[in-house]
Amino acid sequence: MKFALVTGGSRGIGRAICIKMADLGYNVLVNYKSNEEESKNTCLLVEKKGVKAISLKFDVSDKNQVQTVLGGFIETHPDYEIEVLINNAGIREDALLIWMKDEQWESVINTNLGGFYYVTKMVVTNMLLKKYGRIINIVSLSGLKGVPGQINYSAAKAGIIGATKALAQEIGRKGITVNAVAPGFIKTDMTEGLNEKELQLMIPLRRFGLPEEVAHVVGFLASKESAYITAEVISVNGGLYS
């Protein structure tokens, strides 16, 4: 049974990616941190597409949880092959450097960058054995351009971009591609408090993007046909930054 694992699949961009993976014919492992109800809702939407959905609760920033929950799941389901990994789980906690609390720095780095590291390390071994895999990391315009008030988030996302390029070179010869997708402003809970009317004036396409528009690019990179694209970062930002 072929699976796609989507971290942070309970809401927003992650949910749209789960549905896209189902469209590609994958069974989906829907990871979440605390929102069990929304994770179950994602599972229902995935199952409507005629594939299997399994909800997996673990905190990607917690090495022990990744090892026990995800590692335990992999061990007890040797016939379930995770062929696609989408590192999507992420948080932002904005503050100017002078006001930033150590905890804000640590939680954003640990969730975004640490989560990428722990989960990818857990999943990549089987991809190497099978000599096939697709790893797609959801980064951000902040990691490309740097955004004031987001030194923690910009650093974490830029870190993942560096790791994407390095890992692509490490494991390309094993048939595994590693790419990143960098959204701009996308309508989700994460951007809910932002002044969309004002911000959209800076965006050439004059609107925030939709989660499905990010998922579309993830689906493209996850497809078998994208076999010759690796170490790339594709922006989905309405022309806000290029």
Among 10, 150, 154, 179, binds ligand NDP (CB under 6 A): 10
Interface positions, 169-198, toward ligand NDP (CB under 6 A) = 183, 185-186, 188-191
Residue closer to ligand NDP by CB (options 113, 167) is: 113
By the 8 A CB rule, do 57 and 33 touch?
A: yes
Calpha distance 232→226 (Å, rounded): 11
Calpha distance 216→21 (Å, rounded): 10
| The one-letter amino acid at 20 | K
Among 3, 4, 11, 118, binds ligand NDP (CB under 6 A): 11
Stretch that binds ligand NDP, among 48-56, 74-82, 86-94, 196-204 (CB under 6 A): 86-94
The secondary structure of residue 111, as a DSSP letter, is: I
> Applying CB under 6 A, does 134 fall inside the site for ligand NDP?
no
Q: Tokens in use for 109?
A: 């780095």
Question: Catalytic residues, which ones?
Answer: 153
By the 8 A CB rule, do 11 and 38 touch?
A: yes
Residue closer to ligand NDP by CB (options 126, 191) is: 191
Calpha distance 238→242 (Å, rounded): 10
Q: Binding pattern to ligand NDP, positions 47-66, x when CB under 6 A?
A: ------------xxx-----
By the 8 A CB rule, do 178 and 163 touch?
A: no
> Applying CB under 6 A, does 137 fall inside the site for ligand NDP?
no
The contact set with ligand NDP (CB under 6 A) reads 7-8, 10-14, 31-35, 38, 59-61, 88-91, 111, 138, 140, 183, 185-186, 188-191
